[in-house]
């Protein structure tokens, strides 16, 4: 379970007390026996899912699952008493982690205001000290492009949102105003899910970083000379506008003669997840989304989950076909205009690496989104991605910078129709989801600063360094293909491919179509993705099971407040996936947990912690723990418990069986064109890491 600082817990109590002064009684943390339905506060709970069957059961309940999950738990937002009732009747156990999300919003906004008042300019590249609104994003994209038009231009995506808003992005690179010239493309996306505000902030800050440092930072300059970077910070413009507006607070002290109470003025959509689809197949009247969203708690019942609407494996596990469910997949693959925007962006360029930002869980997720032994569209197990080792290696490089866990998407729970599952399997470009931050959808803004620049052991690295590592992967010719040769100067070269993309219920026609201009020297070098899509490549299907490798328990006696007890634990095994540490005690008191790695000189480096509120047990997970000595520290924050039990468990994925499944070989169609006329057409087969030469002599002869 993710940690909450001690100061946060004290502030949360103060915020709840403030609400009580105004006659509002938020629900307090407790067990599943507390079915408090008279006055329900939206809350975040940790649901026990010790088996895969439990995770599948939870997904069928239609609840609002977060991306914070582990081997034996999934965190869920309960928006109203009906949600609580569904969870109670499922028989799944749970603990309350944030008992009142409205009270938490009050607390966070107070922190944000204090930070902004005390900060002239933050350490972020933009200097911002508060969350952006949608208007702020649009202004920043326009102004950033205006500052350095030679390397940055604002782009307008082709489809307006359902509520009639334009979606903007920014393209960054040397000589960016010129036509595509064959450089590889890196795409960074934010805010598919409306409530996940840091996902847009970090994308926007990376754009600022690149534009400001081109020409002065040798690393950034070299990367932008060899690539183009496209950043779309807000994919879900309608949902974010509602979430950000309703997530703002009305300070009643301004209207109650100097009173002491701060309340959330419009909580309705602060935790909205989806877009503004009101009725499938109908374009709503612009501006009606807010009214429609008022019909369901948190606005979560209205709309399509945009990260279940992509075509790859659309309609499978982890995506609901019920409109009111939080993970509703849409009426069909790519049914939503916001996702059509991303599809056309990636299909129209050679995107060799892509990251889609989300919150929260401190994770870097890679394809595929369903368990390898899940039976897919072809009647065979889906298996691992063909590039599993390379995807995992880049994930490890990025998580070394931000401290996140490097795992498959399915290790949370099965999902289909996600961004990277489609982009990777359709194009071959590496694709990842970042789950930013440990414990909240939109935490206090200072946490955003830390997530971008790094803090503690990751200070000076963070997601800034992770993004740069991804950009370096995008330009690395070992991770994509290169086609080069001679062609008439000024000719348009086109790479095209049309194919059938499998969904869980059938298939649809997909197209990739990108172009470049030949330079004045009559030579071209085009950095492209491989010609054979991963989804049809040879694959090794492995049937795996997550199994505990070893478990060790420690019994502790009574401690006094402020006292801590250290328990030594040694990891002797290599290649372990997760070290999970659980702390339990028999009374509703408050113990905390910290885990340290012992260094060669005897010093300790913190690698995990959990500091939850009263009556919430502690758990932390350390991804890919290195062999060596660890210290498991139990801290008495406010406890009179007579004893506690501390358990350290090592988990690994064991292969039960494996099978080689033969695949196909596909080709690119390369054409050389003048004024729209095709003068030469060639079929090109090229693999990842391969370079092929195609001289277009016929095109030159007919020019």
Segment 283-297 shows an average pLDDT of: 76
**Domain spanning 109-246+271-475: CATH superfamily:** Zn peptidases (3.40.630.10)
**Per-residue pLDDT tens over the stretch 200-219:** 999 999 999 999 999 999 99
Please identify which of the residues 75, 420, 435, 451 carries the catalytic annotation: 435
**pLDDT band with cut points at 50, 70 and 90 for residue 4:** very low
Question: For 294-306, what is the mean pLDDT?
Answer: 78
435-455, pLDDT tens digit by residue? Answer: 999 888 889 999 999 999 999
CB 367 within 8 A of CB 359: no
pLDDT tens digits, 335-370: 999 999 999 999 999 999 999 999 988 999 999 998
Identify whether the C-beta of residue 382 lies closer than 8 Å to the C-beta of residue 376: yes
Whether residue 31 has pLDDT greater than 60: no
- With residues binned 3-state (H G I as helix, E B as strand, rest as coil), the percentages for the chain, rounded to 5, are 25, 30, 45
Structure tokens at 83: 């949600």
What is the rounded average pLDDT of the residues 537-559?
Answer: 81
The angle subtended at Cα 407 by Cα 401 and Cα 413, nearest 5°, is 140
DSSP state of 307: G
How much is the pLDDT for 619?
86
3-class DSSP state of 185 = strand
Closest CA to 581 of 619, 549, 555: 619
More confident site: 26 or 239: 239
| Multiple choice CATH, 541-660, 3.90.1580.10, 2.60.120.380, 3.40.1280.10, 3.40.140.10 | 2.60.120.380
Mean pLDDT, the chain, whole residue set: 86
| pLDDT at 541 (0 to 100) | 65
- Share of residues in the chain with pLDDT > 70 (%): 89
Cis peptide upstream of residue 243 (ω within 30 degrees of 0): no
Query: Is 420 labeled as catalytic in the residue annotation?
Result: no
Question: In terms of C-beta density within 10 A (0-12 exposed, 13-18 middle, 19 or more buried), how is residue 682 classed?
Answer: middle
Residue 597 neighbours by CB under 8 Å, 6+ apart: 604, 605, 607, 626, 628, 629, 630
* Tens of pLDDT, residues 370-405: 888 888 777 778 888 999 999 999 999 999 999 999
Residues above pLDDT 90, as percent of the chain: 58
Domain boundary assignment for the chain: 109-246+271-475, 487-538+662-702, 541-660
Q: What is the largest CA-CA distance in the chain?
A: 89
Half-sphere exposure of 417 (CA within 13 A, CB side): 32
Q: Closest Cα to residue 311, out of 495, 509, 496?
A: 509
**Does residue 138 surpass a pLDDT of 80?**
yes
User: Fold identical between 109-246+271-475 and 541-660?
Assistant: no
Instruction: Determine phi and psi for 174, rounding to 5 degrees.
Output: -60, 135
Q: What is the arithmetic mean of pLDDT over 426-441?
A: 94
- CA dist 614 and 592 (Å) reads 10
Q: What pairs with residue 49 in β-bridges?
A: none
Q: Is the peptide bond before 368 cis (omega within 30 degrees of 0)?
A: yes
| 500-537 per-position pLDDT tens digit | 888 988 889 999 999 999 999 999 999 999 999 999 98
**What integer pLDDT is reported at residue 617 of this predicted model?**
83
Backbone angles phi, psi at 197, to 5 degrees: -55, -40
Bin 383: left if φ > 0, else alpha if -120 < ψ < 50, else beta.
left
305, 695, 309, 308: which is closest to 491 by C-alpha? 695
Q: Is the dihedral of CA 465, 471, 477, 480 positive or negative?
A: positive
Q: Which residues contact 301 (CB under 8 A, 6 or more apart)?
A: 295, 323, 324
Q: Return the sign of the alpha-carbon dihedral for residues 181, 186, 192, 197.
A: negative
pLDDT in tens, 326-337: 899 999 999 999
Work out the angle at residue 329's Cα, subtended by the Cα atoms of residues 653 and 301, and round it to the nearest 5 degrees: 110
Q: How many whole angstroms from its chain centre is CA 2? A: 16
Say which residues have a Cβ less than 8 Å from residue 694's Cβ, sequence separation at least 6: 483, 484, 485, 670, 682, 684
| Helices 337-347 and 419-427, axial angle in degrees (round to 10) | 30
């Amino acid at each position: 379970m993710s940690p909450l600082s001690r100061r946060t817990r004290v502030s949360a109590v103060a915020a709840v007390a403030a609400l009580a002064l105004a006659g509002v009684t938020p629900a307090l943390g407790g067990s599943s026996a507390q079915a408090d339905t008279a006055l329900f506060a939206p809350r975040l709970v940790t649901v026990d899912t010790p088996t895969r069957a439990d995770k599948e059961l939870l997904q069928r309940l239609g609840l609002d699952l977060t991306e914070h999950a582990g081997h034996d738990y999934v965190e869920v937002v309960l928006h109203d008493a009906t949600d609580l009732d569904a969870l109670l009747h499922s028989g799944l156990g749970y603990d309350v982690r944030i008992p009142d999300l409205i009270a938490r919003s009050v607390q966070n906004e107070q922190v944000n205001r204090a930070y902004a008042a005390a900060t002239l300019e933050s350490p972020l590249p933009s200097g911002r000290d508060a969350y952006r609104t949608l208007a702020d994003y649009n202004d920043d994209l326009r102004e950033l492009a205006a500052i350095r038009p030679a390397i940055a231009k604002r782009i307008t995506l082709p489809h307006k949102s359902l509520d009639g808003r334009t979606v903007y992005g920014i393209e960054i690179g040397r000589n960016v105003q010129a036509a595509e010239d064959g450089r590889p493309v890196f795409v960074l996306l934010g805010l598919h899910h409306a409530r996940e505000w840091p996902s847009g902030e970090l994308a926007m800050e990376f754009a600022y970083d690149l534009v400001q440092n081109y020409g002065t930072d040798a690393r950034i300059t070299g990367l932008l000379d060899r690539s183009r970077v496209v950043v779309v910070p807000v994919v879900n413009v309608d949902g974010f506008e509602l979430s950000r507006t309703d997530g703002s607070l009305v300070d009643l002290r301004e209207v109650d003669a100097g009173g002491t109470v701060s309340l959330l003025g419009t909580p309705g959509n602060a935790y909205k997840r989806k877009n503004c689809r009101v009725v499938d197949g109908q374009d709503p009247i612009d501006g009606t989304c807010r009214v429609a969203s008022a019909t369901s708690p948190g606005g979560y019942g209205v709309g399509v989950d945009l990260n279940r609407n992509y075509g790859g494996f659309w309609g499978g596990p982890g995506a609901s076909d019920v409109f009111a469910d939080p993970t509703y997949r849409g009426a069909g693959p790519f049914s939503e205009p916001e996702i059509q925007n991303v599809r056309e962006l990636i299909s129209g360029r050679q995107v060799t690496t892509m990251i889609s930002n989300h919150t929260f869980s401190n994770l870097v997720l890679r394809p595929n989104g369903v368990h390898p032994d899940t039976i897919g569209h072809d009647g065979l197990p889906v298996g691992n991605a063909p590039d599993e080792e390379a995807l995992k290696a880049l994930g490890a490089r990025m998580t070394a910078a931000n401290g996140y866990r490097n795992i498959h998407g399915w290790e949370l729970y099965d999902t289909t129709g996600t961004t990277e599952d489609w982009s990777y399997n359709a194009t071959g470009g590496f694709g990842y989801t970042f789950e930013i931050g440990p414990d909240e959808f939109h935490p206090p803004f200072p946490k955003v600063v830390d997530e971008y620049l790094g803090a503690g052991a990751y200070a000076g690295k963070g997601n800034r360094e992770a993004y740069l590592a991804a950009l370096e992967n995008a330009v690395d010719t070992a991770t994509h293909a290169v086609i080069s040769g001679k062609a008439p100067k000024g000719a348009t070269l086109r790479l095209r491919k049309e194919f059938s993309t499998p969904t869980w219920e059938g298939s649809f026609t997909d197209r990739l179509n990108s172009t470049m201009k030949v330079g004045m020297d009559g030579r071209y070098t085009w950095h492209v993705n491989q010609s054979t899509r991963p989804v049809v490549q040879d694959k090794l299907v492995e049937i795996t099971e997550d199994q505990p490798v070893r478990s060790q328990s420690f019994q502790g006696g009574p401690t006094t407040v402020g006292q801590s007890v250290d328990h030594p634990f040694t990891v002797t095994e290599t290649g372990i996936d997760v070290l999970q540490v659980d702390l339990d005690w028999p009374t509703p008191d408050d113990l905390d947990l910290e885990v340290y790695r012992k260094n060669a000189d005897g010093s300790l480096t913190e690698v995990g912690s959990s500091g939850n509120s009263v009556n919430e047990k502690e758990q932390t997970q350390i991804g890919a723990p290195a062999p060596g000595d660890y210290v498991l520290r139990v801290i008495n924050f406010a406890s009179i418990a007579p004893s506690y039990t501390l358990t350290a468990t090592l988990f690994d994925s064991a292969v039960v069986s494996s099978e080689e499944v033969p695949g196909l070989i596909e080709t690119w169609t390369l054409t050389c064109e003048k004024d729209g006329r095709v003068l030469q057409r060639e079929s090109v087969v090229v693999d990842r890491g391969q370079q092929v030469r195609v001289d277009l002599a016929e095109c030159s002869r007919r020019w």
